[in-house]
């Protein structure tokens, strides 16, 4: 595995080098994050724990990848800035499995009992009756007209 640095910038605010790499991997699959971390750490004479591979992009059918890598000055600065999922991705596979197992097993905490509250019962309210001399809608009742006797 050989790589060429396309872009190398230093971010003083975050105390890291931001690298864009072209990685050639003839007759091999895409490089693993751990092997790429070790190669970049060797070139920049730093520890592998200071190097984080953010992205590896390999086009289908090609023998090279474009990678985004961040090299931090110290590991504490990296832990503050690098998202947790990127930190987990850059761990060796055994450590990743342990973390996944731990996250699947939630810590069992004793559940505090909720105080029992009296259930609210519906109090039946008497239905509103229209005022005397008026119908349901509050109008006076309509009196039927007297039919005149037909003779």
DSSP string, 84-99: HHHHHHTS-HHHHHHH
Q: Which of 34, 25, 86, 88 is nearest to 59 (CA)?
A: 25
Is residue 58 within 8 A of residue 110, CB to CB? The reply is no
Query: CA-CA-CA-CA torsion for 97, 100, 101, 105, nearest 10 degrees?
Result: 180
User: What are the φ/ψ torsions at residue 20 (nearest 5 degrees)?
Assistant: -120, 120
Predicted TM-score of the model (pTM): 0.63
Residue 57: pLDDT over 60: yes
Q: Average pLDDT in the 79-102 region?
A: 88
pLDDT at position 28: 86
Residue 108: pLDDT over 80: no
CATH architecture assignment, domain 2-103 = 2-Layer Sandwich (3.30)
Q: Average pLDDT in the 130-149 region?
A: 65
Residue 151: pLDDT over 60: no
Query: CA-CA-CA-CA torsion for 84, 89, 93, 95, nearest 10 degrees?
Result: -10
Strands (E), the chain: 2-11, 16-24, 51-58, 64-72
Per the prediction, the chain carries an average pLDDT of 82
């Amino acid at each position: 595995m050989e790589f060429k640095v396309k872009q190398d910038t230093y971010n003083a605010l975050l105390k890291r080098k931001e690298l864009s790499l072209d990685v050639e991997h003839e007759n091999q699959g895409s490089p693993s994050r751990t092997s790429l971390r070790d190669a970049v750490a060797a070139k920049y004479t730093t520890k592998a724990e200071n190097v984080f591979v953010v992205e590896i992009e390999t086009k289908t059918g090609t023998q090279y990848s474009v990678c985004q890598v961040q090299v931090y000055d110290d590991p504490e600065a990296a832990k503050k800035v690098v998202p947790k999922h990127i930190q987990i991705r850059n761990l060796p596979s055994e450590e990743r499995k342990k973390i996944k197992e731990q996250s699947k097993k939630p810590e069992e905490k004793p559940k505090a009992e909720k105080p029992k509250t009296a259930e609210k019962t519906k109090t039946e309210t008497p239905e509103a009756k229209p005022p005397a001399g008026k119908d349901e809608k509050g109008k006076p009742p309509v009196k039927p007209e007297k039919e005149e006797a037909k003779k």
